[in-house]
Amino acid sequence: MSPRLHWLPDVLEGAGLKVARQPGWETRGSDTMGPIRGVICHYTATPDRTKVMPTLGLLIRGRDDLPGPLSQLGLGRDGTYFVIASGKANHAGRGAWNGIETGNSSFIGIEAENSGRRDDPWPPIQLDAYHRGVAAILAFVGRTAASCCGHAEWALPAGRKSDPGLDMHAFRQNVAAILGGAAPPPPIIPRAEPTGKGRPTLRRGDEGEHVHALQAKLGIAPPGPFGPKTEAAVRDFQRGKGMVPDGIVGPKTWLALDQLR
């Protein structure tokens, strides 16, 4: 089996989560991942609440003292998962969990956008996506909720890290409930408009006349498949309308697009 985590976005989408693949994610990170033994949860420690994932560039490029990628996944405040890398990322540092000490090569890292301050509560949609995303990954690799930890729990010496600032015992209980089928399913975006024009829900990878109609509304030329340029334009449009900028054109986004002249 390839050490690359090319299954990540499909597993998250299969759990009903919003996913935004970042250009180059398929080859980003090294090929030295071993068997996945768990997930380490982080926060980004940035105070900007006005954007969904303002640290995305940093997570991709890295810092002066630590090359990127800094995680495989980013989690925006709107519950969108940004797929950053399919290979090993520099997210764990020295530590241990369940007797495992090979953090970067054994654990998937999720960096969730949050400042860590008490006056910056986690949006419910983001926290729910955190639980569901971790559960989906653990189910795919055949692990239980016990294989999920916070960076603060992982890091050695103890006290070296404080993220993600969540009650990880309660976090694991929520993940276990999802794995056990005891949690309600997330709301699913309809496959098409339930009334009116009946246009299909569109996302990256789609093709055809409805994609071309969307691109015409957004001023994208020449028409073609729903790729990263179209996704970025959709997200900008949604953001400007005060909508969840997930880059998916469902019934609500179609209605807003109808207002364009």
| Both structure tokens of 28 | 């980003």
Task: Decide which of 1.10.101.10, 3.40.50.11930, 3.30.70.980, 3.50.50.60 is the CATH code for 190-261.
Answer: 1.10.101.10
What angle (nearest 5°) sits at the alpha carbon of residue 156, between those of residues 154 and 162? Answer: 60
- Residues of the chain scoring pLDDT < 50: 1
| pTM of the shown model | 0.77
Q: Does domain 8-179 fall into CATH 3.90.850.10? A: no
The yes-or-no answer to whether 8-179 and 190-261 have a common fold is: no
DSSP state of 158: T
| Both structure tokens of 135 | 């559960």
Query: What is the per-residue pLDDT for 191?
Result: 84
pLDDT tens sequence across 86-121: 999 999 999 999 999 999 999 999 999 999 888 888
Is the Cβ–Cβ distance between 109 and 72 less than 8 Å?
yes
pLDDT tens sequence across 168-189: 999 999 999 999 998 887 766 7
Query: What is the per-residue pLDDT for 1?
Result: 47
| Element containing residue 67 per DSSP (H, E) | strand 66-67
Query: What is the per-residue pLDDT for 231?
Result: 84
**Domain-by-domain residue ranges, the chain?**
8-179, 190-261
Query: What is the per-residue pLDDT for 116?
Result: 87
